């Protein structure tokens, strides 16, 4: 028997179509919102959120689409004018790193609220200027030295349970 005669016991549903079915069921008025939420397996908070979005947008189904969770504003963002001033100071002294540049700018502008050294370094990286040695990424990873062994299973650090014999003496752990 081929696949043509076989019917699947379930229907494939997308989240968007489930939301539309939820709204349709609500508009028919056969069940309360709480009952609909139980039937659709969602919380009442989510059900009311979908209803509010749908009716606030004039009954448009596009209002039920997933929305971006990205924040609209970033309170810690460096203002454009300040970033440009930092970039200009770096252009004048291209060999200065973020730490020295911050110190000099603070000395020239006492009381100014400047970002942290790490923010200076991020601005330099964004502008494709590498941060000179001294930062976290400047160090090379430590190379481990191998210890010669007498036997393939000899590693020098092992544990055992119970009694074991080592070099002619019994050790109980």
The pLDDT tens digits of the residues spanning 35-82 come to 999 999 999 999 999 899 888 888 888 888 888 888 888 888 888 888
Q: What span, in angstroms and rounded, lies between the C-alpha atoms of 101 and 95? A: 10
Residues of the chain with pLDDT under 70: 1-11, 129-173
Model pLDDT, residue 10: 65
Query: From CA 61, how far away is CA 59, in angstroms rounded?
Result: 6
What pLDDT score was predicted for residue 33?
93
First to last CA, the chain: 66
Q: Half-sphere exposure of residue 26, counting CA atoms within 13 Å on the CB side?
A: 21
pLDDT of residue 47: 93
Rounded (10°) angle between helices 44-56 and 15-28: 80
- Model confidence pTM above 0.85: no
Task: Sort 150 into a burial class: Cβ within 10 Å, 0-12 / 13-18 / 19+.
Answer: exposed
């Amino acid at each position: 028997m081929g696949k043509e005669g076989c019917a699947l016991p379930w229907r494939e549903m997308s989240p968007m179509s489930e939301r539309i079915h939820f709204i349709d069921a609500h508009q028919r008025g056969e069940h309360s919102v709480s009952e609909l939420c139980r039937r659709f397996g969602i919380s009442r908070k989510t059900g009311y959120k979908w209803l509010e979005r749908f009716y606030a947008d004039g009954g448009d189904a596009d209002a039920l689409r997933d929305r971006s969770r990205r924040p609209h504003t970033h309170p810690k963002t460096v203002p454009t004018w300040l970033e440009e001033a930092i970039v200009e100071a770096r252009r004048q002294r291209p060999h200065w790193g973020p730490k020295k540049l911050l110190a000099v700018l603070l000395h020239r502008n006492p009381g100014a609220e400047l970002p942290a050294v790490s923010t200076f370094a991020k601005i330099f990286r964004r502008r494709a200027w590498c941060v000179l040695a001294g930062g976290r990424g400047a160090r090379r990873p430590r190379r481990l030295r191998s210890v010669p062994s007498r036997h393939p299973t000899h590693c020098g650090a092992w544990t055992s349970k119970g009694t074991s014999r080592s070099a002619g003496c019994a050790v109980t752990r």
